[in-house]
Each structure stands twice: as C-alpha cells, then as structure tokens.
Structure 1
Amino acid sequence: MKILKYSYIWTLAVTFTLSSCEKFLEIDPRISTSDQVTINDENSAHTAVRGIYNQLQSDGYYGYTFQTIGFFSGDNIEYTGSQIVNQSLTNHSVRADLPALATAWTAIYNTINRANNVIAKVPALSVTPTFTDAVRNQLVGEAYFLRALSYFDLGRTWGGVQLVLVPTSSSSNLENLKRSSLADTYRQVLADLIKAEELLPNSTNRIRATRKTVWALRARYHLYREEWKEAITYASKLIDDKSNYNLLTPYSSFFADNASGTNESILELYYTTNVVNTQAYQWQPSTKGGVGWIRPSMGIVNLLNNKSIAGTRQSLISKVILNGVDNWFGNLYYRTNGTDPAFLIRIAELYLIRAEAYAQDNDIAKSLADLNVIRKRADIQELNIADKATLLLAIEQENRIEFAFENHRWYDLVRTRRAKTVLGIDEDFRLLLPIPYAQILIDKNLEQNPQYK
C-alpha cells in the first residue's frame, strides 16, 4: 500500500450555518487542506475536517472510481466505454493491475490519513469561547466516523487491510505493518463508530456526520456482521425518527428536479459547480451532454420496466433512440452542471436492513411489514410471505431495484453468499478484489489476496 505524500491545497470557500439548539456547524464539506498543513487553531481544525469530506467525495472515492468498482462487479450496471479493461470487473476476471483498483485504494487511504491528522491533533487544541468542547468533539467525532466508513469500504472490498491509525506522509512510515484480518478490520470500524457516537451531537445533518449518521452506518455494519438484533436496534433509531427521516412519494422525489438534502437522505455528498460530481457525464447520452459509457444492464431495465415489480421506480431509467436503436440510460445522475449528490445512506436502506434482520431472526411478520413499506412507497402490491427463505429472496430483489444505481448490489450478493449463484462466479477468491499491483510493488509488507497475480 502506498500512502502518498500529501500536498493537496484546495480553494477555500467557507460557509457557516448553525442548526437548532445543538449548534451543529452545518458547513459545506467542500473545502480541504493539505495534510501537511499544521492544525494549530480553530480555523485550521475546521478546514482539516472539511478536507476529509473533500477526499471522500473525490473522483477516486465516492465521486466516481470506488463506486464504479462495485457497479461493474454486480449485474445492474455495465460499462460500454472505450476502456475495455473495466469489463473485467463484470466478467470477474479482474487482474491486480486494473488502474481503477489503485485509484480507489489510494483515495480511501488518503481519506483515512486526513482523518488521522484530525484525530491526532485537534484534541490537543485549546478551548476558546468559540472553539468549545462541543465543537472540538464534533470535529474529532466526524473524523472517527469517516475513518470508520473508509475501513468498512476497504474491508468489504478487499478483506483485511493494513490498519493505519496515526498520520503518515509516506510509505516508508509503514515498515513491518502487516495486513490485519477482516475480523480485526471490522473491529476497528466498530471501535471508531463507538468513539464517534460518544463525541457527535444528536442532531440531524444530511451532509455532515452526526450521532444519527453513526447509527445508520452501525445498522449496516451489524447486518454485514450478521448481528441481527443489533442491526434491528440501530435501524430502528432512524426509522422511528419520523420527523426527520421518511420515505418520499413519488420515488423520484429524492433525486429529481435538482432535489438534494431531502428527508429521504441520512448522508449524501454535496457537490457544487466548483467541486463537481462527474457521474452525469458518464451516465448521460450525447444528446444530453454526456458520453453514456455507464448504462443499466438489460436485466435491471427489464425489472424496472415491469410495473408490478418496480412501480414508480421506473423513473430511474429513460429510453433514447440513437441511430434508430433503443438505448436505455440511468436517471439518478443527470445534472449538466455536476451538482448531483452522491447518496451514501438513505432511510429506505434502514427499512430493508431491518426487514432482513427480522427475517434472519425469524420474525417474519415484522420483516414483511418493513418490506411492504418500501413496496407501498413504490406503488406496488404488498406481499404476503410466510416462508423465511422466500422472504429473504424477496428482500434481495427489493434491494436490487430500490438501489439499482447506488453501490449496493455487488456487496449485498457477496455478504449473503449469493454472488456465485446469481453472477455465475466459479471461484471463491473472486469474491474479494485483488490488492492493487502497484501497491504490492511499493510495500513489501502488503500481501496479495490468495490466487491473484
């Protein structure tokens, strides 16, 4: 693994707003700072935390590359562009030298390093009338949450990884640091989430982490760990907060007509015309200013066009006739000015997390109730299923359609051990992606996942 020397200097444009009695600083997370700039006062602390969000939303991470690794590995989305090597993800023949792997890996570790700087330096700053204990705790709590999210993404994609918990400026600082097991990687995720929960305010913010955001990620974490009761507990915290989080109707309300920050979102990434999301250019056809290299698969197109299955979620796709041929394109990313949000956690996910956890915990009635909440919002017939296995398959399909163009499908199939059956993968080792070859060359301590070359 290569931890790059950090020399990013970004344009500073500060916007401060205060929310409710919690006085949570609702600052647009688009302003970053070099990781080598000293964090020595209130302003530099705020700027450093905004820098973590900036790295999270970068093209290498949730802005594009990391998401596409999951997109192309599943069966909802296909790559039709000129870089044919990307199709190796869909074919499950990916090699360690695929450039996208190195790009995403480095972007995630850059995010971790920025978080490590905040965790190491901000607690030592002196309190002032404006830089109170609450403000300082908030900033450090956000860093813990973002580090947890980063290690969660690394673990579910590559397995156990090197756990870097202090700031570093180069790969030479990592001598003798071996990969941790996946169990230890997940333990670090949970430890960071617990710490973040202690420090963050119990407020609502859809573009910055709060205690509620921690609860949402904990629900997902516990689902992955097959800790059903804990998944139910943390999902319920958000579902029960109906004054702040609820499903919108129609389905498209959370993304259409330039919507952002709706009650559907628990966490989304905020983009502006200065810091743009490049997804729309990749998704939209030339008639709408894009290249259309990322497209829905015919499998998901057929499901979305079936009103009895998808209902109002058909709004996720549209047909464009090019050279006399019908072509299907996704509608989640469409804003020509690059301001599409990236949706990281929606309340719909919490309903389906709880539905799956209830089913696994043999509470069929409650599971079915949560599943039918999602179906009712989509304006399709509610189900009446008594068999656990059948119900779990119904939840799997609902996840596939509800989050058709969000980064869920591949990871859902892997964690439920369904990827080999559904995607026709022959070899178990393909369920983890290879450690980027470029990182193996640089770091002698970084071991490749088994059977990859």
Structure 2
Amino acid sequence: MRNKNKPSLNMLTIGPVKRWLLMGLFAILVTSCDDFVEIDPPNDQLTGVVVFDDATTVNAALIHIYTGLRDQALVNGGLSGISFLLGLYTDELDLYSTTLPDARQFYDNALLPSNNSVQDLWGNGYNLIHATNAIIEGLEGSTALPQDDRDHFLGEAHLLRAFTHLYLTGLFGELPYLETTDYVANSEAEKEEVHSVFSKVIADLERAKTLLPMNAGSEKVRPDRWTASAILARVHLYNGQWEQAWAEAIDIITNGSYSLNTNLEQVFLNDSPETLWQFSVGSTGANTYEGHTFIFTSGPPPTTALSDHLMGAFEEEDARKVQWIASITDGTDTWYHPNKYRLNTNSGTTQEQSIVIRLAELYLIASEAQAHLGNLYEALNYLNPIRERAGLAPLGMMGQSDLLDAIQQERRVELFTEHGHRFFDLKRTERANSELSDTKPNWEARDMQLPLPESEILLNPNLLPQNEGY
C-alpha cells in the first residue's frame, strides 16, 4: 500500500524492521516537540534489537504513531481529517472555501478515485498500521524487556492496529487487514469482507484488553484497558452485537473512573472527567487542530461553517446549541461554527486536547443496545442523562422504533463534528440514502463508501474490483 505523498511500504521495509524504527525514532528525537512523555533515549542504543529491548526507545516508537494520528492520519483535527471531510460529505458542514478542490469533491458528493484526500486517508492509515506491525513483531521477538512493559506496549500496538483498521473499513468497506511488515505479502494483499475485518478488529482489541493496564495515567493521552473496552463497545454496536456492546459500555459506566461532566462548558477541557482518551498536544500551551479548523471570527467564513440542516436538528431549549456552537455575524448574515474546542491559539498553558473517546458516547451505546434488546426502560435510563445535561426534558416511554429514532437524534446533536460519527451512524443504520438524498443534491447510494484510491489499485490489482459506482 502506498500513498503518493508518503514513503511506500517498499521503502519502509527494505532491510530489517529495525531500520524503520531507527528512522522514526531519529525523526522524533531530532525534530519533534511532542510531549506525550519526557524521553531522552541514548543514541548509542538505537541499533539492532536494542530498539525492542529498551522501554524508552519502544515508547518513542509508539509516540511516533500517536503523533501521526494527531497530525496526519484519519482522526486528525485538521483539513485532512474525517471530522472536517465527513462533516462536508454528510450534512454537518457547508464549504465556503474556493481553494480546496479535494474538499469540494467531498462536499459535492462527487469523489473521484484520484482525490488526494481519499489517497491520504488510505495511505496515512496504512503507514501507521505498518508501524504498529513493526512494533508488534519486534516486541514478540524481544526477551529483554520486563514483562509488564512488553505487555503494555503490545497492548497499545494491538489497539492502534484495530483502531485504524476500524476507521478504514468504515470509510472504504472491504479492504486488507494487514498483520505483517512483509512487503511482498502486503503489496499483494486481497480485500476482506467487512465482517472479517470486524472480527480481526475485535480480536486485536480483546488482546489489547488483556495486556493494557487499568489506568495509563491521569492525562489520558495513552489508551488503557478502559479505552480498549470503549472501542470494543463501538465495534459491537456497529456489528449489531447488542449484548456485547451493552456489556462493554456498562462496565465502563459502572466500574470506570469516569463521570459525565455536568457543565457543558467543561466537557472538552483537557482535565474533563468524561474523557477516556485524548491526543497530547505538540508543544507547551498549544491546543487543538479542531480549533484552527473550525473557529472563525468574521464573515463570510473562510473555510467552513455549520449547515442549516445541523442547526435545525437542535431542540429550541438544547443548551448544546449555545455552549457548543458560536455565531458570527457581519450585521446582515449570521454563520455558526463548532465551539466545542474554543481555543485556536497558544494559551501559555494547554487547556484543550483533541478527545478521541468520551463517556457520553458510551451512554448512547448502552442506550441503543438496550433498545435493540427490547429493554426500553433501561435504554431511557442511559439516554435521558445526556438530554438532561443539555437542559432538555427526559423522554418518557415510547415504542422501540421511536426510541431508536430518538437515540440517533441524540447522537447527531451530541457527537457532531467529532470524527465522522454522523456518517458512520447513517451508514450502519441504513439511513444515509433517505436522510441525505434530499439535503445533498448529488448524494447517491454509492456514497455509502469512498472510492478505493486509484494509485493503490495500480500498485496492487488484488484490490479490484473498485467500489461500486466509481
């Protein structure tokens, strides 16, 4: 797999796997200002198997992956991340910029297999998968690390591999699940059906749960056992495995050290008790890429603004419409932008970090799972706390179909512009065509998945056939 703007896997895998790690570590130690943790590995140890025999260097290699997720790959908060791109692709965002042709294709639902953003989503994702595979292979061959360190690092790598594959299959459908750094095998890898990808995602996450510590630190910038359980809850929900989704979600809600933040203004601060996992920032006082992407201070918007369709989805009394959305006017027209993250400049002391998973999603997963299982009263017990926090009246008893609709509505206004939840929810519930065909003039059934990048098909014809409609 290769993205034209990134090193190919051929470049990354010539020679021993350690060569890749050495290159990645050198880049981190020389040029990165990352502060996930303080690291200062001795240069004379960055050779051979010592990379995998020293906790400091393995840790630095993992930081390299987290940095890639935060800055470049699928869930980054910038213009190449899915919060922006899928917000345009569905009905959350309107595009105002005239200088972003790739984003325009997303907004117009007119994607081509040559779209650079599509190629980046695929290429950056698979490059990070390759990196996790390199770490897994190296650690499995290491005997010098203390067992606790080895297990912790392996758990993180398995979680990261599952996490990345989960987003890729959500975007592209059938695709290869890569579990090796072998270039020949990867360059000829065939697509797997989505249920097979899900099964391997689940297996990786179950392995991660057995290996990760219960608590990876108060800053929540590294995933722990609860993070693995939260992603498992999401996967089981997507897979229609309601009992398993409920079990994972309720375990976190009941036994985890997390709580819903009753103050909407504080939900997205870096010390929120609601956060399970967030990305560390790149330098002292820095905040989120989402702030740079979505906040604007004068109209018309330079890049994007919230759509009328999303604004109209909020109930009149919903406090999220006030606390999580800001309005900008030029005296004649008014535009709105997400205000979950409120800082787009250095603030001296970091106040906001990009949240990957938060407890509110687990409440909504628990509610939906119970609704599907027919336990409607129990479902309301996990839906209503989200509503009540937003200043809305709790919902009373209703039929199963109406309750499932209410849960999807709540997910829409709770999770907007957070890593493509709207797209994935419409896709898995088979509502995309009915809900987007009226609001998005060019929406077609094919748009349920993105086209496979043409550059990848040229490199690996086993990826054929192209996704239907492209």
Check 1:216–1:319 CA distance in 2 against 1; reply closer, same or farther (3 A cut): same
Equivalent position SS for 2:71 = coil
Question: Counterparts in 2 of 1:190-209, with a 5 A limit?
Answer: 190-203=202-215, 205=217, 206-209=220-223
Check 1:53–1:297 CA distance in 2 against 1; reply closer, same or farther (3 A cut): same
From 159, 168, 174, the equivalent of 1:160 is 174
What's 1:376 paired with?
Answer: 388
What's 2:283 paired with?
Answer: 273
Equivalent position SS for 1:401 = helix
- Alignment of 1:418 with 2:434, yes or no, is no
From 364, 389, 404, the equivalent of 2:401 is 389
- Alignment of 1:185 with 2:197, yes or no, is yes
Question: Counterparts in 2 of 1:407-446, with a 5 A limit?
Answer: 407=419, 408-424=421-437, 427-446=444-463
- Deviation of residue 439 (structure 1)? 1.6
Q: Is the 8 A contact 1:14 1:27 kept in 2?
A: no
Question: Counterparts in 2 of 1:12-31, with a 5 A limit?
Answer: 12=29, 27=37
- Alignment of 1:133 with 2:147, yes or no, is yes
- Deviation of residue 400 (structure 1)? 0.4
Q: Is the 8 A contact 2:233 2:244 kept in 1?
A: yes
What's 1:315 paired with?
Answer: 323
Check 1:250–1:175 CA distance in 2 against 1; reply closer, same or farther (3 A cut): closer
Check 1:167–1:392 CA distance in 2 against 1; reply closer, same or farther (3 A cut): same
Check 1:93–1:322 CA distance in 2 against 1; reply closer, same or farther (3 A cut): same
- Of 225-234 and 262-271, deviating more is 262-271
Q: Is the 8 A contact 2:313 2:413 kept in 1?
A: yes
State the distance in 2 between where 1:94 and 1:348 align: 32
- Deviation of residue 73 (structure 1)? 2.0
- Alignment of 1:284 with 2:300, yes or no, is no
What's 1:405 paired with?
Answer: 417
Check 1:376–1:143 CA distance in 2 against 1; reply closer, same or farther (3 A cut): same
From 374, 378, 389, the equivalent of 1:366 is 378
Check 1:189–1:141 CA distance in 2 against 1; reply closer, same or farther (3 A cut): same
- Deviation of residue 210 (structure 1)? 1.1
Question: Counterparts in 2 of 1:220-235, with a 5 A limit?
Answer: 220-235=234-249
The TM-score, its normalising length taken from structure 2, stands at 0.84
Equivalent position SS for 2:326 = strand
Q: Is the 8 A contact 1:355 1:371 kept in 2?
A: yes
Q: Unaligned 5+ residue runs, structure 2? A: 3-7, 13-22
Check 1:138–1:260 CA distance in 2 against 1; reply closer, same or farther (3 A cut): same
Percent identity of equivalent pairs = 23
From 299, 305, 308, the equivalent of 2:309 is 299
What's 2:19 paired with?
Answer: none
Check 1:28–1:231 CA distance in 2 against 1; reply closer, same or farther (3 A cut): farther
From 100, 110, 118, the equivalent of 1:93 is 110
Question: Counterparts in 2 of 1:107-118, with a 5 A limit?
Answer: 107-118=124-135
Check 1:394–1:48 CA distance in 2 against 1; reply closer, same or farther (3 A cut): same
State the distance in 1 between where 2:34 and 2:85 align: 33
Q: Match for 2:81: what amino acid?
A: F
Q: Is the 8 A contact 2:180 2:186 kept in 1?
A: no
Check 1:51–1:15 CA distance in 2 against 1; reply closer, same or farther (3 A cut): closer
Q: Match for 1:251: what amino acid?
A: L
The TM-score, its normalising length taken from structure 1, stands at 0.87
Q: Unaligned 5+ residue runs, structure 1? A: 17-25
What's 1:142 paired with?
Answer: 156
Number of residues paired by the alignment?
Answer: 429
From 238, 243, 250, the equivalent of 2:252 is 238
Q: Is the 8 A contact 1:151 1:185 kept in 2?
A: yes
Q: Match for 1:326: what amino acid?
A: T
State the distance in 1 between where 2:287 and 2:336 align: 24
Q: Is the 8 A contact 1:76 1:299 kept in 2?
A: yes
Equivalent position SS for 1:125 = coil
Q: Is the 8 A contact 1:284 1:292 kept in 2?
A: no
State the distance in 1 between where 2:199 and 2:244 align: 15
Q: Is the 8 A contact 1:320 1:328 kept in 2?
A: yes
What's 1:23 paired with?
Answer: none
State the distance in 2 between where 1:190 and 1:110 align: 21
Check 1:75–1:40 CA distance in 2 against 1; reply closer, same or farther (3 A cut): same
